[in-house]
Amino acid sequence: MCAMRYTSALALALASLSISAPSAQEKVDRDINWKIRREATDNSQILRTLHFLTDVYGPRLTGSPNLKAAQDWVVKETTAWGLKNAHLEPWSFGHPGWVNEKLSVHVISPVKDSLVTEALAWTPGTSGPVTAQAVQLIVPTQPTKDVLTKFFDDNRANVKGKIAMVGAPAEVRVTILTPQKRREDNDVRAQYDPVAPTAGGFPGGGGPTGPSNPNVVPAGQVAEQLDQFLVSAGAAGRINDAGREHGQIRAFNNRTFDIAKAVPTVVMRNEDYGRLSRLIADGRTVELELNIVNRSYPEGATAYNVVAEIPGTDKAQEVVMLGGHVDSWHSATGATDNAIGCATMLEAIRILNAIGVKPRRTIRVALWSGEEQGLLGSQAYVKEHFGMVENAKPEHANFAGYFNIDSGTGRARGMSVFGPTEAASILREATKPFEDNGFFGVSATQSRRRGGTDSTSFNEAGLPGIGVSQDPIEYNSHTWHTNLDTYERIIEDDAQQSAMVIAAAVYHLAMRDEKLPRLPRDKMPPLPTP
């Protein structure tokens, strides 16, 4: 970095140290915070780490050779940094790995053009180029069993040997007012105001939807039966509409993870899907050529989490953790979701090790797999090491907190910790020196509902999971799970600032006389009903 930038950063750091006034109970180590800032700005490894996780080893679908190679690299790299006990911990995914190796889709009549698509994960390939007519298949909305059966019977001959375009094209309106990429400081301050906090995040779901019709086939069963129908009817392939603006594609997976239960399937950008649909509506015969090479990996049924640590001293049996998920979807290289989160957490522990801290508690970084399939890796780790508060294992009592980041490239703006308000107060004091970075506080939550990201696997177990909130940048609007999630969408300065505040908070919890306070057993919320 240039000398002017370093001087400015140092001035801001000293200013923040002079104005912060931690409570008498929390002794914030100003010298360590200054060293953290200097190491983070002078010797950042974030972009190097990001390059390896994305350009070299991306995408990193759970069970794939790419993910395993990325995890092996993390073990090697963290060991070279001087971290200890770097290793992979296996857990049972129960499904084979899957990789798309080649994909091309062209319209060859009545026009000729290449089409933009992504393969749906855990679907078969085409065994070479396949040329077939495209047909539009509009499945009835909320069908009864009889209506759905008649629909399949009526269309069985129509889809045989054809490529089914499932559904009408989505109408994607032009965005006039684009989403705000950074949150206003005053809004964030208000959200984390300990006296009168405003609600954070997005509002919950809507109100009651009314009683369901018992004669209607549930949407999940319609999707399952549609897959079965296309296989049994002999469809040559399937195309889904991505339904998003500006060529964005989100391609997830065949829900059964069994390639025998689906036909070759791609998700097509809305602009191409709409064009083909309009040609068919004109009465024209649309012919497509598909060439899809997918490969399954039986060894992917065993998945892994990767961990490494800085050993503690007098309280080494107690552990402070930090991490994020290293798996990604397959349409891009998984930069904002969640290679940058992993690079940030690896940077935070690298910084602490580089400046020579001797933490009282062990500091352990963990990068999870299977998050995109339902937080599976972190669930497996929590079950193996800690158990639930209602049936706890010995390590449960020695746990001192887990920090998680998983919302893209935006800088850290606040945190939420599962536990009493005292836990939030402690973390608030520990992070207050970083208000100049735009970090404005910590709130407490008592929800044990699992979902969204890996910190909630710890919350569910009654442990202090700590989720980091971030500036949105382009995460929900452009990069989350899309084919645009690449290295180019990362803001290095934001990740550096996040690594600073997380490293400081982790160190603070590793050095306190007492662990972060938890909710007592008699005040522990019950597990939510499914």
pLDDT digits (tens, 9 = 90+) for 500-525: 999 999 999 999 999 999 999 899 99
| DSSP notation for 362-420 | EEEEEEESSSTTTSHHHHHHHHHHTEETTEE-HHHHTEEEEEE--S-SSPEEEEEEES-
Q: Which of 33, 19, 9 is nearest to 511 (CA)?
A: 33
Across 159-183, average pLDDT? 95
pLDDT in tens, 177-187: 888 999 998 89
Task: Please compute the mean of the pLDDT values over residues 124-136 and round it to a whole number.
Answer: 97
Burial of 113 (0-12, 13-18, 19+ CB in 10 A): exposed
- 3-state class (DSSP) for residue 507: helix
pLDDT of residue 17: 41
147-158: average pLDDT: 97
CB 338 within 8 A of CB 371: yes
SS (H, E, C) 15-84: HHHHHCCCCCCCCCCHHHHHHHHHHHHHCCCHHHHHHHHHHHCCCCCCCCHHHHHHHHHHHHHHHHHCCE
How sure is the predictor about 239, in pLDDT bands with cuts at 50, 70 and 90? Answer: very high
Answer whether residue 277 shows pLDDT above 80: yes
> Mapping DSSP to helix (H, G, I), strand (E, B) and coil, where does residue 146 land?
helix
Dist CA 475 CA 380 (whole Å): 27
Task: Classify burial at 273, counting beta carbons within 10 Å of its beta carbon; exposed 0-12, middle 13-18, buried 19 or more.
Answer: buried
Mean pLDDT, residues 367-378: 98
Are the C-beta atoms of residues 419 and 412 closer than 8 Å to each other? no
Structure tokens at 83: 């971290």
Cα separation, 43 vs 443, whole angstroms: 31
Q: Which one-letter amino acid corresponds to residue 96? A: P
pLDDT per residue as tens digits for the range 298-350:
999 999 999 999 999 999 999 999 999 999 999 999 999 999 999 999 999 99
pLDDT at res. 212: 67
Model-level pTM? Answer: 0.92
Position 509 scores a pLDDT of 98
pLDDT in tens, 29-63: 999 999 999 999 999 999 999 999 999 999 999 99
